[in-house]
Structure 1
Amino acid sequence: MDATTLTAFTDLLSDDLTIPVGTDIDTPANLGQFLARARAVDDDRELLAVAAAVLRLRNVADYSVAATCAAIERVGLPARKHVRSAAAILAELGAAPAVAYRAARLGQAIADEHLVSAIRGLRDGAVSAEHGDAVASGLGHVAGRVELTEADRARVVHSLMVQTSPARVKEKARAWAIKLAPEVPADGEVPVAERDDLNEMTLNRTDDGRVAVTIDFDIVAAEELSAALDPLTRPVPEPDGSQDRRSAKRRRADAMAQVIRTYLSHSERPESGGVLPHVTLSVPAAVVINGQVLDSGAGLGARQTISIPMSEDETAEDETAVPWLGFGGPISARTAELIMCEASVALALLDDNGVPLNVGREKRLFTPGIRKALVLRDRGCAFPGCGAPPSWCDGHHVEHWEHGGETSLDNGVLLCRRHHTLIHHGGWEVFIGHDRQPWFIPPADPDHPKHRREPIRSNARRTLTLSASAA
């Protein structure tokens, strides 16, 4: 079957699996119409048969995609298309990146003689691409940790093949790696726990835009990570003196984020594209932050607002115009405001068509002199009950910089990232009082919305009473 025949076959299959517009489904003529009018109980057996057949068809198609990837790599097509790999070609053709890379891995597995049974099952439609990929990855996991004989490889592959899900395959692979590892390493052999060549880290974007991270470290790197996180994971009392409400997992995640921010704040680190890597924020021209429209002059220190004449069609607002991070994608206006408050930001303002209006400048933050004055005044995170060290803190503009706030001691306060986020997202407010000290106002009590929200002193000036004379 050549490409032309395959295309024609795909067209026929598509016609049979779908319902043409305006077709009467009461007289089923194809599978799509049958599925649209399937009856409870009467058609149960046939529906199960259809489900099994369609899944098998999908598995066979996945095998064909993997085999195509193997052929693409073998003939050197990626180089002629100026891309890195067959996976990149699939992605350009519309495949999701995860699907494209999985197909490329399966394409490599096709040539592995130890995975014959898995590939045969995939080719026959009995094994899914996800299951086959998990088997190939599981065998690689075991082989990377243990010297396997041919008999061991066969046992491992057979054991992985009979697992019920990809997750169970991964669990079984880890069990095999532990079982086959020698209790006492041979002379000169590095124990598995100390091998840094096995270190792995994955970052997977979830459906809601978050990122799930998994890390597999050798014991030394893990010890260094633990040492870096330990002082940052300790509970911090709430402003009222109660225990830290964050779970251990949340404290560990906050600590990891702080380690990353501290690293990005130092100048002795690799460059990315000739500049120190930090946060790149793209803001559409009509994004509203705190009730104000952030236009091409906002946040850039511009004396004039740049305006570009547009036709009536071009001035139609994009309902999905939101700020974007370079790696993370779309974010809310509140989070954009948080980033712009402290992080070293390369700010690009875009019009409704995504065309840059002004790429701005590297934002000038609190000068070293003002920062020192903030440290002397606040002594660390000023949020009541915190007191995190100054090196962990952001410089927060009380009146936001993009709204005209000055970069000065009387418009600044030191906040750790957790409490900086509370100010932007959690309903807390901060202001500089007549005493030129920061004061904090808690969120309104939903059970007593009319109760007065008493200001609270900064952490460095806390007392056992809220009385103003106690300062």
Structure 2
Amino acid sequence: MSESMSALDALAAEELHGLTDGGVLDRIAELVAVQNRVAAELTRTVRRADTTQAAERDGLKSMRSWLIGHTRLAPADASRILRSGRALEHFPALSARFAEGLVTAAQVNVVAEKVGESEVARAAEQGIDLAAFDQVWAQVAAESPHQSLVAAVQAFEDALDPDGPEPDPTEGRRLTIATHADGSVTGRFDLDAVGGEKVQAAIESIVQADRPRGDERTRAQQNADALVQLCDNQLASGDLPILRTVKPHVVVGIDLDDLVDPATGARAASTGFGATISAARARWIACDASISRIVMGPDGTPLDLGRHHRVVTPGLRRAVDQRDKSCVFAGCGAPSWWCDVHHLVHWLHGGETNLENSALLCERHHTKVHHGFRVERDPGGRWRTWRPDGTEILIGPLMA
């Protein structure tokens, strides 16, 4: 082991700045192979310790608890190593490729997650030759993309239960949503293959249709934005089920003083699901919304319900759609059904709700114009956009 550590010390001491691009890539490939070989040896050694119950020497019940406590591995990583060691005893060809550095620990885990002791026993009962699968998996893992091995292992599962009933997809679907103290939301979902395909197709359609120049967000950020847009489109369509005589919609409550105050007003408004947002965000939502006035008594009891007022009427919305066609922010062009109607001069400050004072803006750019950017329609009917510092955003060659 001391020789291995010395070799790693020597690698760490090497100067990388003098390497060519090809040299750097070759070095990476070699390091991945070394990493695979080390992972294989770790797996083999942990399996030996597992079978001999070596953890008892340090007073621990299992090698999993020993790995977590003594080497500070995450519980999931400790479980993966143990699971892989047990599975590889049944697959010598895959084990050999792992030891040679041609297969990754993640690939071995693909097999180990699906083929445990019970699956091996069922295969023996049905006369399924594990050696044949072993040879195929070893070759696929060493020569093909990661996902190809996933498909190859699925073939084994199908062979174990070729005539089994199709599971009810709705039973395996899960969606959990958690709202945090600051109003932000996190979630997790698990879907069957067909349900997942539908969700991915819908989100991908929005991601690929909205790829503005200079967008440097991660794919995860783009996916999240697309999910919000997907819900926004559906809410706007009015086709969702009616809840207690009311169509589902975003609800925001805010005091009038906070609404008209131009300050940001942190935590001044609340949403229907209990999130707390700023007054600035509430004003942004109010640009294209329905407004209801409720006069509250000192004890919090509603004293007067004012007339419901639609700020942007359906007729005005159609007129703005017809004129602008898409988001008017320079360089965007997001379709009209992704856009809000923005008041150039907010109705809170005397701006009229009419065609001349309206502009189509997508969610991203509607936010921008409420935080320093500005759009304006010149006498010739051309939309122009200015940055917070007063400089204009120009698309294409500079014009005199």
Q: TM-score category by the smaller chain?
A: 0.5 to 0.7
Q: Which runs of structure 2 are paired with 1:15-414 in the superposition (5 Å)?
A: 168=75, 178-179=114-115, 183-184=157-158, 185-190=161-166, 195-234=169-208, 241=213, 243-287=214-258, 289-291=260-262, 322-344=268-290, 348=294, 350=296, 354-356=300-302, 358-414=304-360
Instruction: State the distance in 2 between where 1:286 and 1:455 align.
Output: 33
Q: Identify the range of structure 1 (395-404 vs 209-218) with the bigger mean alpha-carbon deviation.
A: 395-404
More helix by share: 2
Shift in Å, 1:388: 1.0
Instruction: State the distance in 2 between where 1:220 and 1:187 align.
Output: 20
SS at structure 2 position matched to 1:233: helix
Instruction: State the distance in 1 between where 2:383 and 2:76 align.
Output: 56
Which of 415, 427, 435 is the equivalent residue of 2:380? Answer: 435
In structure 2, the partner of 1:464 is 397
Shift in Å, 1:255: 0.5
Q: 2:363 matched to 1:417?
A: yes
Instruction: State the distance in 1 between where 2:261 and 2:344 align.
Output: 14
- The TM-score normalised by the length of structure 2 is 0.57
Shift in Å, 1:321: 7.3
Q: Answer yes or no: is the 8 Å Cα contact 1:237–1:244 preserved in 2.
A: yes
* 1:223-252 per-position Cα deviation (integer Å, ceiling 9, x unaligned): 1111111122138566xx5x2122211111
Q: Answer yes or no: is the 8 Å Cα contact 2:288–2:341 preserved in 1.
A: yes
Instruction: State the distance in 1 between where 2:77 and 2:340 align.
Output: 41
Shift in Å, 1:395: 1.1
SS at structure 1 position matched to 2:166: coil
User: Cα–Cα, structure 1 residues 208 and 321, in superposed 2: closer, same or farther, change >3 Å?
Assistant: closer
Letter matched to residue 396 of structure 1: H
Shift in Å, 1:186: 4.0
Q: Answer yes or no: is the 8 Å Cα contact 1:200–1:215 preserved in 2.
A: yes
In structure 2, the partner of 1:123 is none
* 1:161-193 per-position Cα deviation (integer Å, ceiling 9, x unaligned): 96969x8479969988744577113414226xx
* 1:117-161 per-position Cα deviation (integer Å, ceiling 9, x unaligned): xxxxxxxxxxxxxxxxxxxxxxxxxxxxxxxxxxxxxxxxx9999
Q: Identify the range of structure 1 (203-212 vs 350-359) with the bigger mean alpha-carbon deviation.
A: 350-359
Letter matched to residue 165 of structure 2: E
Q: Answer yes or no: is the 8 Å Cα contact 2:330–2:384 preserved in 1.
A: no
Instruction: State the distance in 2 between where 1:320 and 1:454 align.
Output: 29
* 1:437-468 per-position Cα deviation (integer Å, ceiling 9, x unaligned): 43321122xxxxxxxx23447xxxx653354x
Q: Answer yes or no: is the 8 Å Cα contact 1:284–1:349 preserved in 2.
A: no
* 1:325-351 per-position Cα deviation (integer Å, ceiling 9, x unaligned): 110421101110111112446565657
Instruction: State the distance in 2 between where 1:437 and 1:353 align.
Output: 52
User: Root-mean-square deviation (CA), in Å?
Assistant: 3.7
User: Cα–Cα, structure 1 residues 405 and 285, in superposed 2: closer, same or farther, change >3 Å?
Assistant: closer
User: Cα–Cα, structure 1 residues 233 and 172, in superposed 2: closer, same or farther, change >3 Å?
Assistant: farther
Instruction: State the distance in 2 between where 1:417 and 1:233 align.
Output: 14
Q: Answer yes or no: is the 8 Å Cα contact 1:321–1:352 preserved in 2.
A: no
SS at structure 1 position matched to 2:157: coil
SS at structure 1 position matched to 2:239: coil
User: Cα–Cα, structure 1 residues 320 and 257, in superposed 2: closer, same or farther, change >3 Å?
Assistant: closer
Q: Answer yes or no: is the 8 Å Cα contact 2:316–2:354 preserved in 1.
A: yes
Unaligned runs of 5+ residues in structure 2 are: 1-60, 84-108, 120-155
Instruction: State the distance in 1 between where 2:219 and 2:284 align.
Output: 25
Letter matched to residue 385 of structure 2: F
- The TM-score normalised by the length of structure 1 is 0.49
Shift in Å, 1:286: 3.0
User: Cα–Cα, structure 1 residues 203 and 359, in superposed 2: closer, same or farther, change >3 Å?
Assistant: farther
Shift in Å, 1:381: 0.9
* 1:243-282 per-position Cα deviation (integer Å, ceiling 9, x unaligned): 2122211111110000001111122221122100101111
Q: Answer yes or no: is the 8 Å Cα contact 1:284–1:352 preserved in 2.
A: no
Q: May I ask how many residue pairs the two structures share in their alignment?
A: 266
User: Cα–Cα, structure 1 residues 291 and 372, in superposed 2: closer, same or farther, change >3 Å?
Assistant: closer
User: Cα–Cα, structure 1 residues 159 and 221, in superposed 2: closer, same or farther, change >3 Å?
Assistant: farther
In structure 2, the partner of 1:146 is none
Shift in Å, 1:202: 0.7
Instruction: State the distance in 2 between where 1:413 and 1:171 align.
Output: 56
Q: Answer yes or no: is the 8 Å Cα contact 1:229–1:256 preserved in 2.
A: yes
User: Cα–Cα, structure 1 residues 335 and 261, in superposed 2: closer, same or farther, change >3 Å?
Assistant: same
SS at structure 1 position matched to 2:195: helix
* 1:336-383 per-position Cα deviation (integer Å, ceiling 9, x unaligned): 011111244656565776444654454414334433332333221111
User: Cα–Cα, structure 1 residues 271 and 288, in superposed 2: closer, same or farther, change >3 Å?
Assistant: closer
